[in-house]
Structure 1
């Protein structure tokens, strides 16, 4: 597993070093100058997506054929990708929050926003990696666009329904205590993290099966 992680980290370092440095420098300066937190949100998502791009390099180098001769299991090969994705996203989220803090833009809402973006990044990789291993890097982009569009459309529709329901409730909804709101938000965060972890585990299981069939 350590060797697989080192291989992927080496690919990212050599192939994306310039992009990552530019990303951090450009977004960092813009965040500090404009004091706009949405740039930190974007950086969090982009940071995690880089890991999935290493699959393209594996495909070009016919890495799967070579990996089949090594004493590693499909679970270890895929596990290194998923582990690195989670670690990379976490690093991006921490860095984004640090830049927001240095910009003097405080508030728990920014931390929550970065956390949500980190979850989106992880879920996008969870969708992308099984599709990429199944259909190849070229076709996976088209499938991902359709899936992301469906998710965004569904989220917007759900948000609209929630807002309409809140409007119908009216003044009664405004009488909710601050403690109840805080508890509700904490519950939603905990539930979303749990759901993300479950979906990530399901994606890993599917991806291992896809990769194992691909080896045969």
Structure 2
């Protein structure tokens, strides 16, 4: 398992290092200058996409044929992708939160917003990876564009709208309502985390079965 993770991390480091550094630098400067937290939401949501992109390099190198000769199971091969996706998203969320706090616009509501976008990133990969293994990396790009547009930007817009409504509630002196909405938001995040974990496990199971059939 460690070797599989090291292989994917090496691919990301060599192939996407420039893109990742540009992403952090560009969004970091924009967050610090504009003081707009929604940029952190976008950076968090797209961070995990790079993991799914490693499947394309696996196809080009005919990695699956080589992996079949190794003492690893299909479950371990797929698990390395899913673990790396979760870890990459967590790193992106941590960097986004650090930039928001550094910009002086941090708060509980923004932390919840970043967490929600991290869930979106994980769910996006949970949808994308089975599709990629089933139809191939080339065909899955069309699905990726649809998923990114509908889910990522929709989630960022929804998070921004929630924060604006909470700010308006505070501005008119509705502190009690704000606290109530915050409690409800925390409860909703807790439930959504559980749902995300369940859906992620289901996606892993489906993806493992698809990969196992490809090896036969």
The 8 Å contact of residues 8 and 54 in structure 2, kept in 1 or not, is answered as yes
Distance (whole Å) between structure 1 residues aligned to residue 185 and residue 37 of structure 2: 20
Report what 2:195 is aligned to. Answer: 195
Aligned positions of 1:19-168 closer than 5 A: 19-146=19-146
- The offset of 1:147, in angstroms, is 5.5
Report what 1:161 is aligned to. Answer: none
The 8 Å contact of residues 112 and 186 in structure 2, kept in 1 or not, is answered as no
The 8 Å contact of residues 127 and 144 in structure 1, kept in 2 or not, is answered as no
Structure 2: runs of 5 or more not aligned: 156-173
Mean CA deviation greater in 73-82 or 27-36: 27-36
Distance (whole Å) between structure 2 residues aligned to residue 149 and residue 8 of structure 1: 26
Q: Deviations over 1:129-177 (max 9, x none)?
A: 000000001111223445667768x98xxxxxxxxxxxxxxxxxx9x86
TM-score under structure 1 length normalisation:
0.85
Structure 1: runs of 5 or more not aligned: 156-173
Q: Deviations over 1:83-142 (max 9, x none)?
A: 000000000000000000000112211111111110110000000000000000111122
- The offset of 1:79, in angstroms, is 0.1
Q: Deviations over 1:2-30 (max 9, x none)?
A: 00000000000000011111111111111
The 8 Å contact of residues 130 and 210 in structure 2, kept in 1 or not, is answered as yes
Larger Rg computed on CA atoms = 1
The 8 Å contact of residues 120 and 151 in structure 2, kept in 1 or not, is answered as no
The yes-or-no answer on 1:5 pairing with 2:5 is: yes
Distance (whole Å) between structure 1 residues aligned to residue 185 and residue 97 of structure 2: 20
Distance (whole Å) between structure 1 residues aligned to residue 43 and residue 92 of structure 2: 7
TM-score under structure 2 length normalisation:
0.85
